[in-house]
Amino acid sequence: METTKQLLKEYTRMFVVIVIGYYKKDSFCHNGIKQTILKELQILGVKHIVIDLYEEGFNPAYLEQNKLLIQKYQRFMSRATHIIFISPVWWARCTSMLEGFFDQVLTPGFAYNFKRLTNTYGIPLPRLKGQKITTYLTHGAPALPVLTIYLNAPKLRLLLGVFSFCFKLTNCKIRQFFSVPFCSQSKRVKYLEIVKKDIHREFDKFHQYDLRL
């Protein structure tokens, strides 16, 4: 059983970094998921920051232009206890903006190191093992073809091709919301209830003890 002193120490170091790489401010990613997260974090008094890659002028294809931004993002991610990624799915992956973020920010020496096994082979060792990762992906497609015909490629590619290099996989959670442009308002509300529950499941213990006071 955690003591109030232990909880207070944990609470004071909580810092959530939210990264979103989508330009449509009236989208479900922004108006739905991001706003729900922000509202619940504010209610719970958890420190957080939003990295809106479009607003920040991040260039996903031009590393030299982003040097100062990359340094800032790496500082935030090093300090973060929780990182939340939000993106629609385009061509079975995240947006080009968020993919560029992965390419330029989650670099060797910062997010992971390679351990040499032989002269030609090595394995990645994550350096951001303490952070908890939650990713919200919105699909235009329904669940059935994504999970069957396409073998859930967007989720597997993120877990195995990105997150397994940089983070502890047991700390990584990916939520997928399907048929978002076409589903009913009640379905969207259910999706946002999942987001809300995710936030409260992680942070309610601090709110319960009212540690903000």
Residue 94 lies in a domain: yes
Which residues, in sequence order, are CB contacts of 140 under 8 Å at separation 6+?
A: 88, 89, 179, 180, 181, 182
Residue 175 lies in a domain: yes
Residue 156 lies in a domain: yes
What pTM, to 2 d.p., does this model score? 0.94
Our CA angle for 130, 131, 133, nearest 5°, is: 140
Query: Tens of pLDDT along the chain (213 residues)?
Result: 567 777 777 778 899 999 999 999 999 999 999 999 999 999 999 999 999 999 999 999 988 999 999 999 999 999 999 999 999 999 999 999 999 999 999 999 999 999 988 888 889 999 999 999 999 999 999 999 999 999 999 999 999 999 999 999 999 999 999 999 999 999 999 999 999 999 999 998 766 655 555
What's the rounded Cα separation, in Å, for the pair 105 and 131? Answer: 15
What's the rounded Cα separation, in Å, for the pair 75 and 69? Answer: 10
Residue 168 lies in a domain: yes
CATH of residue 9: 3.40.50.360
Residue 25 lies in a domain: yes
- Provide the residue range defining the domain that includes 184: 4-208
Residue 213 lies in a domain: no
Residue 22 lies in a domain: yes
Number of separate domains in the chain: 1
Other C-beta atoms within 10 Å of 68: how many? 8
β-partners of residue 51 are 19
